[in-house]
Chain A
Amino acid sequence: MKHKRTADKRKLTANKRKPATNKRTLVQIASLVFANSYVLSFLKFCPAPVLHCHACPLAVMACPIGSLQHFVRQRRFPFALAGFFMVTGALIGRMTCGWACPFGFLQDILYKIKLGPRKMKARIGHNVSKVTRYLVFMGLVVIGAFAVGEPLFCKLCPAGGLEAGLPLFAFDASIRAMTGALFIVKMAIVLVFIVTGILMKRPFCRFVCPLGTIYSPFNKISYVKLKVDKELCNECGACRAACPMDIDPHLDADSRDCIRCLECTSCPAIRVKYGA
Chain B
Amino acid sequence: MSDESAPKRPMNMRKHVKAPVGLGNLKQKRPIRPYWVILALGIGLIVIGAFRHEFGTILLNALILCTSCIGLR
Contact = CB atoms under 8 A, between A and B. Distances in A.
Interface in A158-206: 160-161, 164-165, 168-169, 175, 178-180, 182-183, 185-187
B42 A86 contact: yes
B54 A79 contact: yes
Interface in B32-73: 33-36, 38-39, 41-50, 52, 54-59, 61-63, 65-66, 68-73
Contacts of A117: none
Contacts of B58: 44-47, 62, 67, 70, 80-81
Interface string A25-42: 000000000000000000
- Which of under 10, 10 to 19, 20 to 34, or 35 or more describes the interface residues of A? 35 or more
Nearest to B35: A90
Contact of A78 (B43, B44, B49): B49
B62 A221 contact: no
Given A53-B69, A155-B71, A164-B70, A80 B38 contact: no
A83 B35 contact: no
A71 interface: yes
B36 to A, nearest CB: 8
A80 B69 contact: no
B72 A182 contact: yes
Main secondary structure, interface of B, reads helix
Contacts of B56: 45
B44 A83 contact: yes
Given A89-B38, A151-B69, 19 more contacts: A44-B63, A45-B56, A46-B58, A55-B66, A66-B61, A67-B62, A70-B61, A71-B57, A79-B46, A83-B43, A84-B42, A89-B42, A90-B35, A90-B39, A90-B42, A160-B68, A160-B70, A182-B72, A186-B71
14 contacts: A44-B62, A54-B69, A78-B54, A79-B48, A83-B42, A87-B39, A87-B43, A89-B42, A165-B70, A168-B70, A175-B70, A182-B73, A186-B71, A218-B38
Interface of B: 33-36, 38-39, 41-50, 52, 54-59, 61-63, 65-66, 68-73
